[in-house]
Structure 1
Amino acid sequence: MKSHIILIFLLSTITLITASDNSQCDNPLDMMLVLDHSASIIEMDWEKVKMFGEQVVNEFKVSTEGAHVGVVQFAAWAKLSMCLTGSHCAIDYGINDMPDIGTTTNIVSGLQTALDEINARRRDGEDNRQVIILLTDGNDNMNQIPVIQTMANQVKSYGITIYCIGVHNQDTNVTRMIETFDAIATSPINDHIFYTQSGYDGLNSFLDKIIDNECVDIGMNTCPAALVLMGLLLLFHMVHFLPIFRKTPRAQKYVLLSHYLIILFTLIVFILACALAATSNTKKQKRICVAIIVFICFCIALFLFLVYKLWRDYHVFYSTKGISRAGMNAMTFAGDTPAGMKTFRVEDNKADTQYSELKDHLDSQYLNQDEHI
């Protein structure tokens, strides 16, 4: 029984820890980074943009069967700096080798180039997703809002999700940027538009939210499996002890019931933690929830083991040498034998019997009291 508890607990814990460590996105994904490289972006900020691109590659599992990432730079015109590929090294090289093309800002050209690349290298499969992340610190000063919206609608008509990240600077027309992003981003716009007033240092915080939207939800995928494991463990435990529970003394039943009530309460907390993990907005919150779930799994396994140990000790105590519980309760102390052994008389219409090994199993305080008499 103990081995069963430990085995199921280890399986559930390994499942949860594996999920909590899986910070990368396993989904097949075609992602284009459309990066503003106009004259308003100084060299120091451009290096931070490159770091953001590298972080995207690190967070999404770039591989032949996993995520493919490509890069488009745009200013007055757009340049395909890196085609869609599943090669981690090629993407890193393409990001770090991007030249300066800065002049004005032409978002429409950047979106068109990204759309052409996605359609040219689109992979078959219902599970494959296509995503564009648009990063800019300014407004499109070469196209009006209707033109921008028409281009964005064309992109979205292919099932491509568009995220917009706006970096405010002293020259940014905030009202125009909001209007532009509202025309471009996929609905609901609150989940696909991000603004930062702290410059390019806060870009990675937005990446976590994008991952939450595009990647497998660890709360939804691991909680049901762990809950089923814990439920099976509890059911196995209760079915195993149900026949014994009926024969257990009333006082002992209260102890066992209290343990099961604690386990039931723990399972309720477990379900609430799963729900919280599924509705969390950030990867950090999900990891906290998973840590709580792992702890709860440990508590459940520990409580079940304690119940088992409690019953085992009680059962061994009253079953040694074939003594029945009724007979044990009816025993009265008779006195010492010359050999120093205890003699007991059973008052349940059974013959008097000597048990030479009883003192190894009787309560220590009871024996001490007898020795003083």
Structure 2
Amino acid sequence: MSEALKTDLYELTMLAAYHRAGHNPLATFELFARRLPTNRGYLVFAGLEQALSFLEEFSFSPEDIDYLRGLPAFAGAAEGFFDMLAGLRFTGDVWAVPEGTAVFAGEPLLRVTAPLWEAQIVETWLLSAIHLQTLVASKAARVVDAARELAVFDFGSRRAHGPEAGLFAARASYIGGCSGTSNCEAGRRFGIPVAGTMAHSYVMSFPSEREAFQNYLALHPGGTTLLVDTYDIVEAAKLAASLGPACKAVRIDSGDLAQLAVKVRKALDDAGRKDVRIILSGNLNEYRIEKLLKARAPVDAFGVGTEMVVSADAPALDLVYKLVETDGRPVAKRSRGKSTVGGRKQVWRTFDKRGRMLRDCVGLDGERLPGEQLLVQVM
């Protein structure tokens, strides 16, 4: 199915004007963050794989073109415009930093060089795809960092901004350092480990918690996780501990997690089940995880959902895609607060002897500066 119409109208009206004027110089656009959100010291770049797939498959379908023919905005389009659209493909070069790279404001993350018609028309799609995944990967990296070396799992699909957003948020979370996801399609499509336990509705649907647990354990004789906060958490933990070795972990999803984790750990240990792990979930983010660990909560892993997949404290990035060169001539805008630096650019990163990042330097492509070049040709 064509993705070409998933764009802003002005991309197409500009294209019609370019076509009418016969104006199609070789152009270079750069995608970068103007500034970082509050409480963000860096971003984690993600979404490149989907961006490249889009460019490789870019085309307008006959149905797309029929729709555009009926829009008043194209009443003045030059003869041959719609035929041009039917044959339009992306033939340019793309340079980008690798996915999972920590990046900063003002640095080109992706650079597109192509005839102007091709380079302009892909702006909206590229920004949308890279924005979502970079936003979530950056948040996930913060959550994983706060968890120290404990595993973090993405549980956020149901709170993402739509099913497709949940799918790509799962991918981005994995790039950001999460150990797995609850999203099965993400597991299938991207090879991400999938994980999950049970819902409170499962427990409530049985006449007793014991029956619910026994039935679930029978399905998973090799080991599984039981949700213990539907009714009385401590009693449920004792019950889980008594049902044999198939209970490998318990999950707490509500209440004072630090306090309850201590009580559950004691109940498990008193029952001789020091092997059973405790997973905490429920409105978690990097700040709450840090607080739990400072309180020495006995926890072995975290499930993080809403706060991560919508990046609740910073739900948008100031990503832009700007023209920097036409036919080898640097161009820049002087708009107040939105000025740009012209010319095709590269980022050089230097490290200390222990492999830690020291600094980044942005210069013109072709310059010789110390450090490792971050942008590499990917198309």
Whether TM exceeds 0.5 here: the answer is no
Structure with the larger helix share: 1
Calculate the TM-score normalised by the size of structure 2: 0.26
Tell me which structure has the larger Cα radius of gyration: 1
Higher relative contact order, chain-length normalized (CA < 8 Å, sep 6+): 2
TM-score normalized by structure 1? Answer: 0.27
